[in-house]
């Protein structure tokens, strides 16, 4: 069964923190592009919605996934993590057969 991606409470909370720091309410766009060391790579950036986006929303915060990227992100989890190497949004993608060490690129 294919499900849309899920966004964790931590990721939504970090988006709210970013909006508070910048004074600007932007959505988080998660996209999949060709490239990277494993064939595909994630692009994660602040952006505005467009008509064909899937919008995942909670407490006024929004995560956007375009229609082309959506099949690659079925059942994925969009999270935010803080580690010694830094803080970042991460994608736990069950569709990826392998990924590189940085977690930004993957293959299917």
37 pLDDT band, cuts 50/70/90, is low
Among 4-13, 21-30, 80-89, the least confident range: 80-89
The model's pLDDT over 59-98, given as tens digits with 9 standing for 90+, comes to 999 999 999 999 999 999 999 999 888 889 989 988 776 5
17 backbone dihedrals φ, ψ, rounded to 5°: -65, -45
Catalogue all structural domains in the chain, each as residue range(s) with its CATH number: 6-100 (2.60.300.12)
Mean pLDDT, residues 6-31: 96
């Amino acid at each position: 069964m294919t499900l849309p991606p899920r966004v964790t409470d931590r990721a939504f909370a970090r988006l709210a923190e970013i909006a508070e720091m910048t004074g600007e309410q932007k959505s988080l766009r998660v996209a999949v592009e060709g490239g990277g060391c494993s064939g595909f790579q994630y692009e994660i950036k602040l952006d505005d919605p467009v008509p064909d986006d899937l919008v995942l929303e909670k407490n006024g915060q929004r995560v956007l996934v375009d229609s082309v990227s959506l099949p690659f992100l079925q059942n994925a989890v969009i999270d935010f993590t803080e580690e010694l190497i830094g803080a970042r949004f991460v994608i736990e993608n069950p569709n990826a057969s392998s990924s590189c060490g940085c977690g930004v690129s993957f293959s299917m």
